[in-house]
Structure 1
Amino acid sequence: MKSLIAGALVAVSLSAVAVAEGPDKAKLDGRIQAAHAVLHELMATPDKNVPLDIAAKAQCVAVVPGFKKGAFLIGGQYGQGVATCRTGHGWSAPVFIQLTGASFGLQAGGQSTDLVIVGINRRSMDDLLKDKVKLGGDIAASAGPVGRNSQASTTELANAEFLTYSRSKGLFAGVDLTGDVVHQNGDDTMAYYGKDIPYQKVLAGEVVPPASAVHFLATVNQMFRRGKANEGK
């Protein structure tokens, strides 16, 4: 009798865990799809997109859909997103990130916005492997130019490791995220893959992308390939 009760309790526990994990995975799938939608919509408007010459340099791409700004005593912001880095055989499976920081100029009230962060050199992946990095502090970051061609010849842009963008109410523009902090979201990454996989292994391309990430990675790759095809024109 006791063994039957114990077995029933174990079954209930496992069922509860499955129920708890289900919505988390669905939420993460939804976040990836939201990131895909942001990039897909930007790709449809080349004149208001990441410039082709910058897309051609992309080493890592992070998208934070629905980034929130709170109206507290001082402005605060918080967002959850996904990131991928270029490897020798395509774009890596995604990892999950958090972005936190102070308020920035383009937002007002309790608005939300979509953020796109493009790493344009090989240090980008190294910095995403750190537990947290401050934009404009630990790493060089600048508001990115917009349009088919960047005409980004200033010293600030030339020295930048990440270029940062914001999209709100149809407006896509470079945004200054200096002081914001990018954190690894190990809990969500572990929940998505079902086990604890190091960021380095994922971003290095050693993990097969799950089916729910295929569209996002394909859109990132399309943006990159458009940029490479434009080189020399």
Structure 2
Amino acid sequence: MTLSGLLRKTMLVASGCAALSACSDAPQTTASQQQIIVDRATLAVQDLFTGTTAQSRSQKLLAEAKAVMVCPSVLNMSFGIGGSGGRCVLLSRDARGSWSDPAFYRLGTASMGLQLGVQSTETILFIMSQRGIQAILDSQFKFDASASASFASIGSGLEDSTAGAHNTDIYAAQKNEGLYAGAALGGSKLTVDSGANRAYYNQTVGPEDIIVTMRVNNPSADPLRRALMSVAKLPVSSAATSRVSQAATAARTTATQDVVGNNPYPTTYDSTRPYSAQASSVQSQTLAPLKH
């Protein structure tokens, strides 16, 4: 390799690492910067569910999910030293089917790579259980065999796959250029972005304050919450469905939703105590990625 070629490759590696760092490590501490992430997440939700129906696998997952995490732009790189990074927002759903305001997280990983390239993908995590929420709330969650919650990567079979449908805590999917692809999250780690949460809500708050007790609110996140509401519908019993069909007003429909009881948090939740100490004891099993 010539000297100029070596210098050029070195610059590419440096540029890639710098860009990756900007996605996953560089602090972003103003409310306006966080609003950009929220706005992008809103657009990502709209894009991820474009062309789907109530019978689509993606909508069914969202309807049954207790929480979702949206990463509007995960930058995957491989410049000899590869990795991925991105900003994410976590929202939970209460018994009425309303979504919380977003809690900010960072997603990042580093690995050895052999290819030269950059790819940006939209990523969504469907969190299906209380255990899945607990795993993300209590510590830095890592997508590997030691994870305290089971997860599965959904590829091109997103609309028709049923593997692990009843025992998976977290489903992960990525969409790039209009197509769903297997979410390459092995080894990735989620960490709370405390600076972003503090900036967006103008006070020191943790994810529990935002998505569990829901004691803070930023009206600028309402478009994101509405975007999720427009897609996700709470599953209702046949009796509830009958009552809805007889309802003449939207108020009665809302009343029916009130009794669904989809809140994943203990009714006696104490925000001063660790979430894990108040959750039920469960066995953990890590699932292999779903087959495409």
State TM-score, norm by structure 1.
0.77
CA distance in 1, matches of 2:110, 2:172: 15
| Pairwise CA distance, 1:50 | 5.2
State TM-score, norm by structure 2.
0.62
Contact 1:130/1:184 (<8 A) preserved: no
Structure 1 residues 23 and 186: CA distance shift in structure 2, 3 A? closer
Larger RCO: 1 or 2 (CA < 8 Å, sep 6+): 1
Residue in 2 aligned with 1:194? 202
* Secondary structure of the corresponding residue to residue 88 of structure 1: coil
Gaps of 5+ in 1: 1-21
* Secondary structure of the corresponding residue to residue 104 of structure 2: strand
Residue in 2 aligned with 1:63? 70
The RMSD of aligned alpha carbons is 3.0
Gaps of 5+ in 2: 1-27, 242-292
Residue in 2 aligned with 1:119? 127
Contact 1:69/1:103 (<8 A) preserved: no
CA distance in 2, matches of 1:142, 1:160: 7
1:155-190 deviation line (CA, Å, top 9, x unaligned): x44332110011111112342422211111111111
Contact 2:77/2:117 (<8 A) preserved: yes
Residue in 1 aligned with 2:173? 165
Contact 1:98/1:184 (<8 A) preserved: yes
> Which of 36, 47, 52 is the aligned partner of 1:46?
52
What is the identity, as a one-letter code, of the residue corresponding to 1:30?
A: I
| Structure 1 residue ranges (4+ consecutive) displaced by more than 6 angstroms after TM superposition | 229-232
Residue 179 of structure 2 is aligned to residue 179 of structure 1: no
The alignment covers a number of residue pairs equal to: 205
What is the identity, as a one-letter code, of the residue corresponding to 1:172?
A: Y
- Identity rate of aligned residues, in percent? 21
CA distance in 2, matches of 1:126, 1:114: 24
Structure 1 residues 208 and 201: CA distance shift in structure 2, 3 A? closer
Residue in 2 aligned with 1:17? none
CA distance in 2, matches of 1:104, 1:122: 34
1:112-159 deviation line (CA, Å, top 9, x unaligned): 111111101112221221231112431211113422xx441x2x4433
What is the identity, as a one-letter code, of the residue corresponding to 2:69?
A: A
CA distance in 2, matches of 1:188, 1:219: 22
| Pairwise CA distance, 1:214 | 0.5
Residue in 2 aligned with 1:10? none
Contact 2:75/2:121 (<8 A) preserved: yes
Contact 2:201/2:217 (<8 A) preserved: no
> Which of 112, 117, 128 is the aligned partner of 1:109?
117
